[in-house]
A and B are shown apart, each in its own frame.
Chain A
Amino acid sequence: MLQKAGRNRAITYVRIRYNNWVILGVKVKIKVLVLSVFLLGICMAEQGLIRENVQLEMGVSADKNENCMVFIVKNIGKDDILTSPIATNENRIVVVDESGKEFEIFTMKDMEPVIIKQKDEVLWKYKVGNIIDNAKISKTGKYYVYWNFHGVKTSKMLFLKQN
């Protein structure tokens, strides 16, 4: 009886260990997949595949309850575009101060890619207050902001910091 119970416990233990390895394996596979997609995105940018296939627009939101910038990308190419949200990885906001010094707002993140299908448009919003905080803007003066989307850049937009 005791021997049987011990054997069952051993089988259960092996099963749990096996299941954990299976779950771990799936997790690793997903991470590898996400990373591959991310690297593919970088390769596309480096090869200039994205450059000819996107239309970028940067502006502000008219919503009175928001104090936000808007970033709109349209896929005008034939292939899907893989990217990540605004201010992550190769999708960056750049702040230029009066001396010409550039500060990039972004974090490198391993995440599920944003897929922009043909003719689709994706919109991101970013609070103006977050630009001030992240670029550590404290001095008064003129700042220019542009959007660097996988190496494709918008024109610069003026931001004025006063007392």
Chain B
Amino acid sequence: MLILIISVCFAGGKQPNDSGLKLLNVRTELGVSLSEDPLTIVFIVENNSKNELKMSPLGTSDSRIVLIKPDGTEVELFAWAEVTKFIIVKPGESFTQKMPLERIFTSKALRLNGKEPFELNEKGKYNMYWKIGEVKSNQILILKE
């Protein structure tokens, strides 16, 4: 069975910009869970291609959560990890991952320019998206007061 590498076979849903790969049949989407309290973000990938999809878990390696700060700078949540258990999404299936919003904002894995842990204390409007390789999801506005 042919397993495609994420960076080759992903195609984003609504792209924040036109950069990155534009490949068909795979869709990434960011949303909010109606089943959890406190507020939890859901990360959905739909594989509409004919091949299996292989990806690292959320917040590791190339599967990164990106927060655009009120001043426009981008902070990424990820940890380099030697992934031993990849997520496999079969053709025609989707896979959902979740993370509480508070955990994202207080994570020790937040990095600025890929370096050292970074703390988010600034109040204001943030935008968040999910990035897998070069592929980006839709954005969600988050208000920190």
Q: Residues on A close to B: CB < 8 A? A: 57-68, 70, 72, 123, 128-129, 131-132, 137, 142-143, 157-163
Q: List, in ascending order, chain B residues with CB within 8 A of A63's CB.
A: 144-145
Cross-chain contact A57 with B42 (CB below 8 angstroms): no
Of A132, A137, A157, which is in contact with the most chain B CB atoms at under 10 Å from its CB? A157
A158 with B31: in contact, given A60-B142, A60-B143 (CB under 8 Å)? Answer: yes
State whether B141 touches A57 (Cβ < 8 A): yes
The 8 Å CB contact of A162, one of B33, B140, B141, is B33
A62 touches B105 (CB 8 A): yes
Nearest CB to that of B32 among chain A residues? A159
> Is B141 a contact partner of A143 (Cβ separation < 8 A)?
no
User: What is B's interface to A at a CB cutoff of 8 Å?
Assistant: 29-35, 37-39, 42, 44, 96, 101-102, 105, 125-126, 138, 140-145
When distances are taken between beta carbons in the complex, the residues of chain A under 8 Å from B143 are 59-62, 70, 72, 123
**Given A60-B101, A143-B34, CB of A160 within 8 Å of CB of B141:** no
Beyond A160-B32, A160-B34, A160-B96, whether A60 also contacts B42 by CB under 8 A is: no
Q: Are B142 and A59 in contact (CB under 8 A)?
A: yes
Query: Does A128 lie within 8 Å of B39, measured CB to CB?
Result: yes
B141:A59 contact, CB within 8 angstroms: yes
Asked whether A160 lies within 8 Å of B142 as measured between CB atoms, the reply is: no
| 3 interchain residue pairs of minimum CB distance | A59-B141, A158-B31, A62-B144
A60 pairs with B38, CB closer than 8 A: no
Contacts of B32 in A (CB 8 A): 60, 128, 157-160
B141 x A61 contact (CB < 8 A): no
CB of B38 within 8 A of CB of A160, answer no
Q: Which residue of B lies closest to A160 (CB)?
A: B42
- List chain A residues, Cβ under 8 A from B30: 158
B140 touches A157 (CB 8 A): yes
| Residue pair A161, B140 in contact (C-beta under 8 Å) | no
Bound Cα distance A119, B124 (Å): 17
Report yes or no: A161 in contact with B141, Cβ–Cβ below 8 A: no
Of B34, B37, B138, B140, which is within 8 A of A60 by CB? B140
Shortest CB-to-CB span from B97 to chain A, Å, is 11
B126 contacts which chain A residues (CB < 8 A)?
62
Cβ contacts A to B, 17 pairs, < 8 Å: A58-B141, A59-B143, A60-B142, A60-B143, A61-B145, A62-B101, A62-B102, A64-B38, A128-B37, A128-B39, A131-B34, A137-B34, A157-B31, A159-B32, A159-B34, A160-B31, A162-B34
Nearest CB to that of B106 among chain A residues? A64
Nearest to A59 among chain B residues (CB) is B141
From B31, B38, B125, A159 is in contact (CB under 8 Å) with B31
CB <8 Å contact, B142 and A158: no
Collect the chain B residues with CB atoms within 8 Å of residue A61's CB.
Answer: 39, 142-143, 145
* Complex: A129 Cα to B105 Cα, angstroms: 22
